[in-house]
Amino acid sequence: MGDSLRVLIIEKSDKNVSSIIKELKKGKYNPIYERINNFKELKAALDWQIWDIIIADDNVESLEVEAALNILKERDIDIPFLIISDNPDEESAVSAIKAGSHDYIARKNISKLIFSVRGELERAKERKERRIAEEELRKSEEKYRVLAETAREIIIIIDLDGKINYVNRTGVVVGGFSEEEILSMNIADLLLAKRIAESQEFYLYEAEFINKSGEHIPVEVNSSLIDEGNKPSGILIVARDITEKKRAEKQAKLQQEQLFQADKMASLGTLVAGVAHEINNPISSIILNVPILQKIWESIIPILDEHCKTKGDFYIGNMKYSALQERLPMLLSDIMAGAKRVKTIVNDLKDFSRQAPSQLTDIVDINVSLKKSLRLVGNLIKKSTRYFSVNYFESIPTFIGNSQRIEQVIVNLLVNACEAIQNINQAIQASTIYDKISNCVLLEIKDEGIGISPDVIQRIKDPFFTTKRDYGGTGLGLSISDKIVKDHSGEISFISTQGQGTTVRLTIPIKSNAENIIEV
């Protein structure tokens, strides 16, 4: 059995009908057919059945071919319509084709019928599929047109040269131009961006949308290539106004900077307690005058030596000259070294209290940062414990970051360690480590203090959470330190047992310069 084929035959001769059915069966079809002879029968047949093909004799007086074709057109029915003629001529064939017939076959060439049937059925199938696709496309386009026109985002379609082919209502309103004005523009007239799109994948970036008054509106853009037949034909751009987002980010950044400054000033207040006002002036005087005293001493030594040779050893300020000659240069050298150390500490304090820049652009050596931090809190550590030790990892790798903020974190962790121990016999240890496996720089600060409970560890980095509120704690130190470390793609972790102490670990990954030079 072949494929079923529903055939409507317009024919008055039984013999001709049999001939048609025979040819169809030869072509491996199983025809299910009906024969009609007039308009009434044609209309009835079209009403009750969907036909695959119509085969008509052009010599049926009660139902002319052209009239039958007109009925199909009126009903918008697309069915292959084949004419078989006993007396074919070119004029009749042309007339039939113009009227809508799909083929015109001489009865003497009835063997060609099956080829015509197959071809027209295939073409009818293609036409049907095309109509379905076009209708689906029309519905889809209408759906997306409604979505685009009601969207809050700016939606623009451009060709590969940047000419704008479509803009939605939001784009017109935000731009302040008329639709006609925008459609006459290039995308470069409206959107300031380094690049628009490079693939069909959505490309997310920030840009500026320029309205008619020249105002630059910050926007977040999603764009992608439009592909037609595996060939790029344009670019879809969806832009969202992020003015409020940018304003909020700017405000948040300002507040964060203020929190940084407030925390540094709070730490600074503890560290500089007892340091005399305007300490730089006397220190500078000492550093300036010690070399003068050294030169004076060197210039009078020959005189004093001569006096000692002739008169013997003598006292200067309750000290024999022979002893003073050996000790005074060392005393002056110690005075100079001490003054310079004080000046260094004062300068470190100044740097520490100055508002730091927000970029991660320094080459940071964690060993150097720890040494600077220890100079700042050295006095506090000496007062807190007799047992402080520090271990530096030799030739530790550097990383790109913000050295002042890293020092701020270390100072905060060291101060916390000092506050955690209860007596001077409890130890504090600071160590720098390089973990080759994870390619990370680590700083560990261990104390033998009171430890931290598990519930406190869970909240210890939350803003404004503190266990030292009664002693002036703000709860910002660890929160800000955690933010700084996260800006360096690192983390702060805690290991603690109550009554046995705490280990705080600062971990920062080593990255390439390009990865680290970012705004924070």
User: What's the CATH number where 206 sits?
Assistant: 3.30.450.20
Residue-wise pLDDT tens digits, 275-293 = 545 677 788 788 888 888 8
Sequence-distant (6+) residues with CB within 8 A of 155 are: 148, 166, 167, 168, 170, 171, 236, 237, 238, 239
- The pLDDT score that the predictor gives to residue 68 is 85
Whether residues 235 and 288 share a domain: the answer is no
Confidence of residue 100 (pLDDT cuts 50, 70, 90): confident
What span, in angstroms and rounded, lies between the C-alpha atoms of 90 and 150? Answer: 58
- Quote the distance between the C-alpha of residue 87 and its chain's center: 76
Please report, for the domain that includes residue 67, its CATH number: 3.40.50.2300
- Helix spans in 169-242 (H): 169-175, 179-183
Please spell the DSSP secondary structure of 322-379, one letter per residue: HHHHHHHHHHHHHHHHHHHHHHHHHHHHHHHHSPPPSB--EEE-HHHHHHHHHHHHHH
Mean pLDDT, residues 140-168 taken together: 83
Of 66, 69, 65, the C-alpha closest to 56 is 65
Kindly state the percentage of the chain with pLDDT values over 70.
85
Among 353, 377, 399, where does a domain finish? Answer: 353
Rounded to 10 degrees, what is the CA torsion of 324, 325, 329, 331? -10
What span, in angstroms and rounded, lies between the C-alpha atoms of 163 and 60? Answer: 60
Whether residues 122 and 62 share a domain: the answer is yes
Whether residues 425 and 493 share a domain: the answer is yes
- Work out the mean pLDDT of the chain and round it to a whole number: 82
pLDDT at 442 exceeding the cut of 90 = yes
Whether residues 75 and 185 share a domain: the answer is no
Whether residues 382 and 463 share a domain: the answer is yes
Mean pLDDT, residues 315-327 taken together: 84
Whether residues 441 and 381 share a domain: the answer is yes
Whether residues 85 and 230 share a domain: the answer is no
Q: Is residue 504 part of a domain?
A: yes
**Residue numbers of the domain that contains 398:** 362-516
pLDDT at 355 exceeding the cut of 80 = no
- Quote the distance between the C-alpha of residue 279 and its chain's center: 49
Whether residues 387 and 458 share a domain: the answer is yes
**Packing angle between helix 243-271 and helix 366-384, nearest 10 degrees?**
50
> Based on the number of CB atoms within 10 Å of its own CB, is 255 exposed (0-12), middle (13-18) or buried (19 or more)?
exposed
Per the structure block, which two tokens stand in for 78? Answer: 């697309």
Residue-wise pLDDT tens digits, 241-262 = 888 888 888 777 767 765 676 6
Of 197, 198, 245, the C-alpha closest to 218 is 245
Mean pLDDT, residues 414-430 taken together: 91
Please report, for the domain that includes residue 493, its CATH number: 3.30.565.10
Q: Is residue 146 part of a domain?
A: no
pLDDT at 513 exceeding the cut of 50 = no
8 A C-beta contact, residue 349 and residue 398: no
8 A C-beta contact, residue 72 and residue 81: yes
Q: Is residue 249 part of a domain?
A: no
Whether residues 366 and 512 share a domain: the answer is yes
How many domains is the chain partitioned into structurally?
A: 4
Among 331, 353, 375, where does a domain finish? Answer: 353
Q: Is residue 208 part of a domain?
A: yes
Q: Is residue 139 part of a domain?
A: no
Whether residues 386 and 502 share a domain: the answer is yes
